[in-house]
Structures are given as C-alpha cells and as structure tokens.
Amino acid sequence: MKKILLPGILLFFVYLLWNPVPCKAQADDITSIILKANDFYKEKNYAKAEELYQSALDRGLQNGFLYYNLGNTHIRLGNTGKAILNYLHAKKFLPRDQDLQANLKYSVQHTVDLISWEEKSLLKSLFFWVDNFNLKEHLLILISINICFWISLSVWLYKKNEGINLFRKIVFAVLILSLASTAIKWSSVSDTNFGVILHKTIDVKSGMDKNNTTLFQLHEGAIVSIEKEEAGWFKIKLKDGKSGWAKKDAIGI
Amino acid sequence: MTCLITRVTTGSNWNSMRKVNIFRAISFHGIILATCLIIFTALSAYAEDVSVTASVDKTELTLEDSATLSIIVKGLKDIDPIPLPPIDGFKVHSRGKSSAVQIINGDMYSLTRFTYRLIPTKTGTIEIDSIKVRLDGKNYSTEPITLTVKEAVGSILKSETPAYVQAIVSNEQPYINEEVTFTIRLFQRVNAQILDLEIDLKGFRQEDLGKPKRYKRVINGVEYLVTDISSALFPIKTGTIEIPPAILEVELRYQERGKASNDPFDIFNNGPFSNRRIRTEHKALRTRPIYLKVQPLPEKNKPENFTNLIGQFNLSANLSKTEIDVGDTSTLTIKIFGQGNINDVKFDLPDLSDQFKVYPDKPEFKQWVQNNRISGQKTYSFALVPLKEGIKTIPPFSLNFFDPLKKDYFTQSSKPHQLTVSPSKSGESFKVVESETQMKSPSVKILGEDIFPIHTKLSDFESNDIDNSQLIVYAIILIVPGLMFIGLAYLNRHRDQLRNNSALARSRIALKQANQQLDKLTSSQTDDQKFLASELSRILREYLGNKLNLQGNAFTSDEVETKLKGNVFKEDQVLKTQKLLEKYESMQFSPNANLKQEKLIDESKDILLQLEKQI
C-alpha cells in the first residue's frame, strides 16, 4: 500500500496540473459568449463582438486566442492601439502563433511611429529561446527536466558508469539553463510594463502637468515602456531612450 | 529661553536646490549638537498645547518674486501633509515638511512646518483665506493673510535686476508649417539655477533644439551670463497665434556674510558656527507674449501633388548596381534631406511593376540641429528584381516643397537611371528551374493587405493563466523528485550499512527471526515438553547471539548474565532472561505437565519484546 501511495499522490497532482478542474457552469457560460462573439464577428457586427469578447475577459478568462480575436475585432473597428495592446497580451500566451505574429506586424505597420514590440537586450540575446515559450511551457519544461535529473541521479546511485555520469551532467546543465529561462520569463511576465498609446496623438510632457513642456508626440499604437505611475500620469520611455510623462488614460496596459 | 533640538526634512520638493547647504547640515558640529540635544529631549517632557499658524515671508512682492507660505503646527508629532486649497492669483508648489523640537521656558514643543511656494500669476491685493486643518480629530484654522503683488521692477528697468528673461522668435510672420526658432533667453548677473520652465503652447508642433547654450554678453557695460533655451515651432494653423508668457523659475544665489538667524529651522542650513552664508532668492521670471501672424501658403504655382513640405530640401536617387542578371537585385535608394519639416516627408515609388518586383524597406529617418534649425534626412530603399532581360529605365523622381525664404514652390528631381538586365549566367539545367521559379515569384502581385481570421476552435479557449493552486502543484512536483531521491539515497545507504556490517544486520533481524521460529513452534502443537523447552531455549539464545553479535549459541544461563550485563541491559531483565533459560534447561530434564505450550511461548515472546526495547 505504502509503495503505491507516493507515486499515486504524484500522479494525482500531475493529473490536476494537466487537467485543471474548471467551474463547469462558468466555463459553459464563457464558451457561449465566445461562440456568440465569433458569430457577431463573422456577421461583421464588430462592435457587438468586441463587447462580448471583452465581457469574457472581464469574467477572468485569460486566453491567448481570446486576446487575439479581440485584437482582430479592434482592427476591424479601426482601433489600432487597442488591437496592438490585445495582440501583445495574446503573445504572452501564444508566443509562436504565426497568425498572431502576422496580424501584430500588420497593425504596427499601420501606426505612425512604427515602434517594434521586440525587446533587444543582452539577456534576451543570450537566452534567445525564452520568448519562444510561454510561462506555463517554461514551467512544464523545467518540471520535466527536473524529473529527468533526479532519475539520472537515482540511476547513478545504483549504476555508476561513464555514460550515466555524462548524461546526469548534461541534464544538470540543461536544468540550470531551464531554471534561468523560467526565472527570466517569470520576471518579464510579472513585471509586464509595456503600454500602448490608445489616443490618436498624445503630447509627452516634461512633468506631470499639462502646462509642462511638450517633449515629443506619440501616436496611436506606439508601444512604450512604463517606468512608474504617479497621480494619473505614467512616466514612459521609448526604446531610443526618449522619456517623459503622459496621461494615464491615453495609454492601455 | 529658546533652544533648537533637532530637525528632520522630508518631501520631494523640499530644498532640492539647496545642495550647497547639505554639507553644512551634516557638519560635525551639527551632529554633536543634535546628538546632545536628542538625549536631552528624551529626558524631557512635552508640552501639549496644540496650535496651527500660517505666515508668509513677505507680504509685498512683484510678479517675478515668490513668497514662502509656512503652516506651523505646534504640539503634535507625525502629522500628514496638509493639502492647500487652490489660491486665486497664485500657483502653489509644496516644498515639503520639516520637524523640530523647541523648548520655551522649560516647556518642550514639537514643531512641524509645512512650506509652500506661492508664485503670483496676477497683480493686485490678494487675500489668502483662513486655512482649515483637521488634526487629531479637532479642527484648526489659521488667520487670513493679505499679500500685495506689483508689476515686476525688472520689466521696467532691466539693467537694475540681477536676472531677466526674454522670448525671441526667428520669424513673426511665418507660413503654416514653417519652422520658427523660439528662444527663451536668460540674462543673469549672479549665480542662478534654472528650476522649471512653463509654457503652454497651443497651435504648434514643437521639436527640441538640444541642450541650452551658454555664453557671455556685455550690455551697456554690464557683463551677463546668457542662457538660450531653444525649440523649433511648426505652426499648424493660420491666423494670429499667441505664444503665451513663459515662466522661468530660477533660484538666484548671493554669497554674503551672514548674521545669526532666529529661525529655529535654519541652523542646519548655515551651520551654527559659520559666518558666511549663501542667500538664495526664488524668482519666477516672465517673458512677454508674442503674437505670430501665420500665413497660409500661396495658391499661385502650387503643384498638384504638394504635400505640405516647407523648407529647403534636396532629393537624390541611386542604384546599387546598373548591370545585373535576371533574378538578381539592385537597390534603389532615394534620399530626401534638408532643413524644415523633414519629418512630414512622404515618398511613394511610382508603379514599376511591369518591369520589376519591388521590395520596399523600412524608411530610415535621421534628424539633427544645424544652425539652431532642424535638419534631417529620410532614406527610402527599394530592392528591385527585374522580371525580364533588357535595358530598363528608372524614371526621375520629383519632390515639391515651398521655400519660405524665396516665397515660392520648387521641385527637386532626380536623374533617370538605366539598368542593364542580362539573362541569368547560371548553368543550363539549373537555369531552367531557377528561371521558372523566378518568373513565377514576381508574377504574384500583392493586391491588398488584410489580417488573418479569428480563431474559432472552442476547445482552445481554456484558461491559459496559472493560478495559485496550479503554482502549488508545480512547486510540489518540483520538490517531490528531490525528496524521493533523498529517501532512495537513505535506503541505499542503509542497505550498504547492513551489507558491510554483519553485527548490525544480525541485530536488525534478531527479533523477526525469533518471532518466526516461535510462530512455527506454536503451529507445530507438540506435546513433547523436552523438545519444546529445547527449542525455546535455542530460539532465545539465538536471539541473544544475533543481538549481541556472539558466535554460536552454546552459552549457559550463567554466561548469559555475564554477556548481557556487559551490554546495555537492565539488571532485572538480565535476571528474568537468566531465570527463563534456567527454566527451559530444567524442563529438558524434568518435564512439568502443568506448564502449557502457549503459556511458555507467550512468556518467551514477552521477554524478547522487553529485551528488544532495551537496545
């Protein structure tokens, strides 16, 4: 009995992990909302479709395809800024989706400022694969490699030979890389600090007052990095280093 | 008697410009004095009268001056910032809070001062109403304060002022979208630090013209340090547009011999033993408004495809290769550069699809400041892939713009270029395949752009989010294999120990083996008391032999006493064991019918358990 208890508990957790138990009534409700929204979209009633997609999001469903569909709806409604914002949210969950990449590129190409969404940093260059997986995938990879590592270590305990020794060292190196990748992804997801300009044109000021000097202007769809928030203003920064203060309501996050 | 105890300064705006005094504030003498007084404070009692007073450092000021409003709360500590209501006629900037403890005639008071800078926005007599404050559950109000604001002296006679400011534009009658250089020029005779510049520009697009420029200039025999803060303005509508007065906040610094201050808050600014001090004066210098008459562009000679470019521009076109094979690429580069609203340049390549497949690149834009004006360059690149062999002509490209200096429209054109396209030089068999592919690829003409459709597979709309319960599961799954390995390693080590330590192995199996043998004896149901006693004796001796790692089991009950006592066994246990063994020995020679088998076996099990507990 004891022999099967521990693996049994482990399997139960794995089952829970891969098959989270949703509240069925709520899930059905959201599914019917998405179904209706899709129908409205096909009928070109984009305003209604947008309302329903948004209501599914408001009910707490975090899904890449939902953000993607909402982004498409905003494109149809002419809201380039909101479309880019939703595509960027979708990208967190669907990092390798080709349709999403194409639509995001299409949207950015239709902005005035043409600011790319891709982040370039030394860390991102070294860990170039980090953005190809979402956080859940990173965690699952980490778990799988972790299990492999402990299995290799257990085998090494009973059978010591060069092959197993090399294998456990390789798995350990991969585990460290996976751990670092997951930490980077976790950090980038939890410190999500991008914003998208939602108004046609905004003045970026030198301080938190409309009477301050206008440093530069940004247009709808421009992707900015948000450094801090204070009294209804965001301190924003562009990739080329320009920074200033912009009204919070003009920026979607 | 008044005695200053300590002072704490907080608030983002408080004295950020008084860096000079920071070193004095932390001077050695100051620290010694503050430490002594803090100890003294701790030993004293606080007086509890609470009062709130408001005062200003001056009641008469000019439009260029600022007044400092202080609200002092006496008798309470740890007070939240007091928000000031808007005061008509003044802009209010909070300058933070400072705390001190004061002893007056033996009574100790906690003082908190909230400081606000009042910058006048109009002339006349202005009354600051009573300020109402709620502290510690009670309402307090201050006395009203009246201030008189006069026209700035500096605006009447600038040569008498230590600093003044001017606003200058390069052109008061610009055309719409024409660049106008707007300069705010600060003249200073004393050391001055610029704190803030405020101007509300409407009707213009504004571009920064870089860092302020500093130089010296002598005016009427007086040398001034001049600072130019410039920006490029592009009027976006016609008619009269006002550039409103800019307010340049500066702090003027005068170095002078000081005298002792009565202000208990002032000791750390100047140091208790210093007789030199820097006096600072806050000024809000104002420029005069400027009215620009923005003219529309003339309709005469206006080109049809004019795109609101105002300035002086040039255009150049260049081909990277003039002789290529079919399928090769030549890059056409169009450069538009010059002074003016270069950011507004838009260039569309004429339709060359009958000759080339065209791949446009993202335009490059560079902007810089030259002679205090915006200059820049936009570069458009197109990769041209010829569809057929022959001599192809790239037509000239043109750019229309309005030159405000010459007040007329101009067109800049590039030269036409010829491109000689030869058949592909690749091998025959390869050429056929390549030729087909290349001929097919450019023939796909892009007619429009659109997004990919929405996602409709409902099963994909499950939550992708990771909630806390899932995180816990992830954490457990990450930890469990490690724990399992630790368990496995422990078992392995234990097994190794048993394998390498026969004494330990014997000791571990002793009870189990004895119990198995006793159970076997129970199931045999023998009536032979001799055999039973012999077996029970053997089992007990074997157990003791295993437990104590003794070789063989041929020791007598007397030897048992010696061997057990040499170990950890209690004396009474040793005695019981000895007696039991003696009993078994005597039974082998004189069987007793009254002794039942079950009782004997139970007795043996009991003694085994008791011995087991001892080790």
Interface confidence, given as ipTM, is 0.81
CB contact under 8 A, B461 and A63: yes
Is B382's pLDDT higher than 90? no
What is the least distance, in Å, from the CA of B78 to any CA of chain A? 23
Q: How far apart are CA A222 and CA A215, in angstroms?
A: 16
CA dihedral B472, B473, B477, B478 (to 10 degrees): -30
**Residue B448 burial by Cβ neighbours in a 10 Å radius (0-12, 13-18, 19+):** exposed
Residue B578 and residue B557 in contact, taking contact as beta carbons nearer than 8 Å: yes
Contacts of residue B284 in chain A, CB cutoff 8 Å? none
pLDDT band at B432 (very low <50, low <70, confident <90, very high): very low
**Three state DSSP letters for B138-199:** EEEECCCEEEEEECCCCCCCHHHCCEEEEEEECCCCCECCCCEEEEEEEEECCEEEEEEEEC
CB contact under 8 A, A17 and B477: yes
The encoded tokens of residue B83 equal: 């928000």
Please give the average per-residue pLDDT across A178-206, as a whole number. 88
Locate all alpha helices (DSSP H) within B501-596, ordered by sequence.
502-524, 529-547, 557-565, 571-589
Contacts of residue B473 in chain A, CB cutoff 8 Å? 13, 16-17
pLDDT number for residue B290: 92
Most A CBs within 10 A among B461, B480, B496, hence the mutation to make, goes to B461
Give residues with Cβ within 8 angstroms of B250, minimum separation 6: B163, B186, B188, B192, B193, B194, B195, B282, B283, B285
pLDDT band at B440 (very low <50, low <70, confident <90, very high): very low
A 10 A CB-CB count for A251 gives 24
The encoded tokens of residue A195 equal: 């914003």
Give the best-scoring range by mean pLDDT among A135-149, B79-93, B352-366: A135-149
pLDDT band at A25 (very low <50, low <70, confident <90, very high): low
Pick A143's closest partner by Cβ from B457, B474, B492. Answer: B474
Most A CBs within 10 A among B205, B454, B480, hence the mutation to make, goes to B454
pLDDT band at B446 (very low <50, low <70, confident <90, very high): low
Give bridge partners of residue B148 from the DSSP assignment: B60, B125
pLDDT number for residue B120: 87
pLDDT band at B6 (very low <50, low <70, confident <90, very high): very low
Contacts of residue B205 in chain A, CB cutoff 8 Å? 217
pLDDT number for residue B503: 81
Most A CBs within 10 A among B183, B449, B455, B460, hence the mutation to make, goes to B455
CB contact under 8 A, A99 and B206: no
Is A103's pLDDT higher than 50? yes
What is the least distance, in Å, from the CA of A237 to any CA of chain B? 17
pLDDT band at B262 (very low <50, low <70, confident <90, very high): low
Condensed to tens digits (0 to 9), the pLDDT of residues B127-157 reads 888 888 888 778 888 888 989 988 876 555 5
Give bridge partners of residue B367 from the DSSP assignment: B376
pLDDT band at B615 (very low <50, low <70, confident <90, very high): low
pLDDT band at B554 (very low <50, low <70, confident <90, very high): low
Percent of chain B with pLDDT over 70: 80
Please give the average per-residue pLDDT across A49-56, as a whole number. 93
pLDDT band at B436 (very low <50, low <70, confident <90, very high): very low
pLDDT number for residue A176: 94
pLDDT band at B427 (very low <50, low <70, confident <90, very high): very low
Residue B470: closest C-alpha in chain A: A17
Angstrom distances, CA of residue A148 to CA of A4, A136, A181, B416: 20, 18, 17, 67
Pick A10's closest partner by Cβ from B454, B480, B492. Answer: B480
What is the least distance, in Å, from the CA of B477 to any CA of chain A? 7
Condensed to tens digits (0 to 9), the pLDDT of residues B117-128 reads 888 888 888 888
CB contact under 8 A, B470 and A17: yes
pLDDT number for residue B132: 84
What is the least distance, in Å, from the CA of A206 to any CA of chain B? 10
Condensed to tens digits (0 to 9), the pLDDT of residues B25-63 reads 444 455 455 544 544 444 444 445 788 888 998 888 888
Length of chain B: 615
More confident residue, A142 or B359: A142
The encoded tokens of residue B452 equal: 């990919």
How large is the angle between the packed helices B571-589 and B597-614, nearest 10 degrees?
150
CB contact under 8 A, A158 and B481: no
Q: How far apart are CA B17 and CA B194, in angstroms?
A: 10
What is the least distance, in Å, from the CA of A104 to any CA of chain B? 9
Residue B159 and residue B223 in contact, taking contact as beta carbons nearer than 8 Å: no
Residue B285 zone, left/alpha/beta (φ > 0; ψ -120 to 50; rest): beta
Angstrom distances, CA of residue B564 to CA of B291, B507, B552, B559, B610: 116, 14, 15, 8, 13
pLDDT number for residue B39: 47
**Residue A134 burial by Cβ neighbours in a 10 Å radius (0-12, 13-18, 19+):** buried
What is the least distance, in Å, from the CA of B451 to any CA of chain A? 5
Condensed to tens digits (0 to 9), the pLDDT of residues B458-486 reads 888 888 888 888 889 899 999 999 999 99
Contacts of residue B478 in chain A, CB cutoff 8 Å? 142-143, 146
When mean pLDDT is compared across A45-54, B165-174, B529-538, the lowest value belongs to: B529-538
Average pLDDT, chain B: 77
pLDDT number for residue B276: 59
Pick B201's closest partner by Cβ from A99, A157, A214. Answer: A214
Please give the average per-residue pLDDT across B73-97, as a whole number. 79
Q: Is the dihedral of CA B566, B568, B571, B573 positive or negative?
A: negative
More confident residue, B30 or B455: B455
Please give the average per-residue pLDDT across A211-227, as a whole number. 90
Residue whose C-alpha is closest to residue B17's, from B247, B256, B281, B246: B281
Most B CBs within 10 A among A214, A219, A230, hence the mutation to make, goes to A214
Pick A17's closest partner by Cβ from B461, B474, B481. Answer: B474
Most A CBs within 10 A among B195, B451, B459, hence the mutation to make, goes to B451
Please give the average per-residue pLDDT across B344-359, as a whole number. 79
Pick B484's closest partner by Cβ from A65, A135, A150. Answer: A150
What is the least distance, in Å, from the CA of B471 to any CA of chain A? 9
pLDDT number for residue B398: 85
**Three state DSSP letters for B3-21:** EEEEEEEECCCCCCCCHHH
pTM above 0.90, yes or no: no
More confident residue, A17 or A221: A221
Contacts of residue A23 in chain B, CB cutoff 8 Å? none
Q: Three-class SS of residue B283?
A: strand
CB contact under 8 A, A157 and B473: no
Contacts of residue A99 in chain B, CB cutoff 8 Å? 452-453, 455
Is B587's pLDDT higher than 50? yes
Angstrom distances, CA of residue B197 to CA of A207, A243, B247, B285: 10, 17, 6, 10
Q: Three-class SS of residue A122?
A: helix
pLDDT number for residue B259: 53
Average pLDDT, chain A: 86
Residue A145: closest C-alpha in chain B: B478
Q: How far apart are CA B615 and CA B612, in angstroms?
A: 6
Is B20's pLDDT higher than 50? no
Pick A211's closest partner by Cβ from B198, B460, B466. Answer: B198
Q: How far apart are CA B286 and CA B292, in angstroms?
A: 18
H or E stretch including A102? helix A98-109
What is the least distance, in Å, from the CA of A226 to any CA of chain B? 21
More confident residue, A23 or A194: A194
The encoded tokens of residue B163 equal: 């600093």
pLDDT number for residue A85: 94
Residue A142: closest C-alpha in chain B: B478
Give CA angle at B564 (B561, B566), nearest 5°.
105
Pairing of strands B417-422, B323-325: parallel
Contacts of residue A69 in chain B, CB cutoff 8 Å? 454-455
pLDDT number for residue B589: 77
Pick A62's closest partner by Cβ from B454, B465, B474. Answer: B465
Give CA angle at B306 (B302, B308), nearest 5°.
105
CB contact under 8 A, B461 and A215: no
Is B112's pLDDT higher than 50? yes
Pick B452's closest partner by Cβ from A93, A99, A139. Answer: A99
pLDDT number for residue A116: 84
CB contact under 8 A, B461 and A31: yes
Counted across chains A and B, CB pairs separated by less than 8 A come out at 119
pLDDT number for residue B565: 67
pLDDT number for residue B267: 46
Residue B553 and residue B542 in contact, taking contact as beta carbons nearer than 8 Å: yes
Residue whose C-alpha is closest to residue B246's, from B189, B206, B293: B206
pLDDT number for residue B328: 76
CB contact under 8 A, A65 and B470: no
Q: How far apart are CA A153 and CA B485, in angstroms?
A: 8
The encoded tokens of residue A50 equal: 């947008």
pLDDT band at B97 (very low <50, low <70, confident <90, very high): confident
Residue B78 zone, left/alpha/beta (φ > 0; ψ -120 to 50; rest): left
Give the best-scoring range by mean pLDDT among A15-24, A116-125, B534-543, B588-597: B534-543
Pick B455's closest partner by Cβ from A13, A30, A68. Answer: A68
Q: How far apart are CA A147 and CA A241, in angstroms?
A: 43
What is the least distance, in Å, from the CA of A125 to any CA of chain B? 23
Contacts of residue B249 in chain A, CB cutoff 8 Å? none
pLDDT number for residue B275: 54
pLDDT number for residue B553: 60
What is the least distance, in Å, from the CA of B489 to any CA of chain A? 7
Is B538's pLDDT higher than 60? yes
Is A66's pLDDT higher than 60? yes
CB contact under 8 A, A63 and B470: no
More confident residue, A141 or B85: A141
Q: Three-class SS of residue B542?
A: helix
What is the least distance, in Å, from the CA of B138 to any CA of chain A? 28
